[in-house]
Amino acid sequence: MKPNRRLEIISCAADLFQKKGYSSTSVRDIAKSMNMEAASLYNHISSKQDILSTLLLEVASEFSEAMDGIICAPNSSLDKLYQIISSHIKIIIGSAQAVSLIPSEWVHLEGNAIQEFIALRDRYELDFKSILTKCVEEGSLKPVNIELASFSILSTLRWLSSWHIKNPTVDPTIIEEELKKCLIDGLKVNST
């Protein structure tokens, strides 16, 4: 009935999925932490899979929209790279639990949902790699193996949500500043 009851269930499930994984979380686990019976959940959700696909497709869309905004802006490719880091931090601050499901739980999506998710993810990675490539062409980044560099940077960004859940008090400004050093500028002293 109340639409926010559904949201409560989904956010509660996100928390459990993040802690135990989708497969190890039963609908009875979700019901228990909502103080209701398993059968009652089905007045608000259509299936366990429904919860997962809602969570994952929602955050995947958020990332895609952020990427679209960054690509369209009239900035240098290097600036776009920095902006991608900022956008990850912004999205994570808003919904860390859901974002933390992306790295390992997307494999449990089924049917259309997994196809949609993979399409969004592949599109995102292609966009990211093309920004990296342009940075090299424009001379703002060293010539670098695009596949490895994009994997390396995205690994950190993908796991940032889990790190943030464990270190919730660190100032986002510091996260942003330090991550730009780690991922782009370099840690060695004789680098800028």
Partner DNA sequence: CCTACCGATCGGTAGG
In this structure, the number of other CB atoms found within 10 A of the CB of residue 92 comes to 23
Query: 53: which 2 tokens?
Result: 């696909």
**Is residue 39 involved in binding DNA (CB under 7 A)?**
yes
**DSSP at 11:** H
Task: Kindly indicate which of the ranges 25-33, 92-100, 112-120, 146-154 contains the residues binding DNA, using the contact rule CB under 7 A.
Answer: 25-33
Spatial CB neighbours of 60, under 8 Å, sequence gap ≥ 6:
102, 116, 117, 120, 121, 124
**Torsion sign over Cα 158, 161, 164, 170:** positive
Q: Minimal distance in Å, beta carbon 147 to a second copy?
A: 7
**Is residue 49 involved in binding DNA (CB under 7 A)?**
yes
Spatial CB neighbours of 10, under 8 Å, sequence gap ≥ 6:
45, 51, 54, 55
Task: Kindly indicate which of the ranges 3-11, 66-74, 111-119, 148-156 contains the residues binding a second copy, using the contact rule CB under 8 A.
Answer: 148-156
Residue 3, binding choice from DNA, a second copy, none, Cβ under 5 to 8 Å by partner class:
none
- What is the footprint of a second copy within residues 33-62 (CB under 8 A)? none
Report the Cα 29 to chain-centroid distance in Å: 24
Residue 145, binding choice from DNA, a second copy, none, Cβ under 5 to 8 Å by partner class:
a second copy
**Is residue 1 involved in binding a second copy (CB under 8 A)?**
no
Q: Which of 7, 19, 21, 43 binds DNA (CB under 7 A)?
A: 43
Return d(Cα 48, Cα 70) in angstroms, integer: 34
Spatial CB neighbours of 9, under 8 Å, sequence gap ≥ 6:
30, 34, 41, 44, 45, 51
* 51 close to 31: Cβ distance less than 8 angstroms: no
**Is residue 169 involved in binding a second copy (CB under 8 A)?**
no
Give the burial class of 25: count Cβ atoms within 10 A of its Cβ; 0-12 exposed, 13-18 middle, 19 or more buried.
buried
Q: Which of 12, 93, 144, 165 binds a second copy (CB under 8 A)?
A: 144
**Is residue 38 involved in binding DNA (CB under 7 A)?**
yes
Q: Which of 17, 18, 48, 150 binds DNA (CB under 7 A)?
A: 48
> Which residues would be at the binding site for a second copy (CB under 8 A)?
19-21, 23-24, 78, 103-104, 107-108, 139-142, 144-145, 147-149, 151-153, 155-156, 158-159, 163, 167, 170, 174-175, 178-179, 181-192
> Which residues would be at the binding site for DNA (CB under 7 A)?
1, 5, 25-29, 34-40, 42-43, 46-49
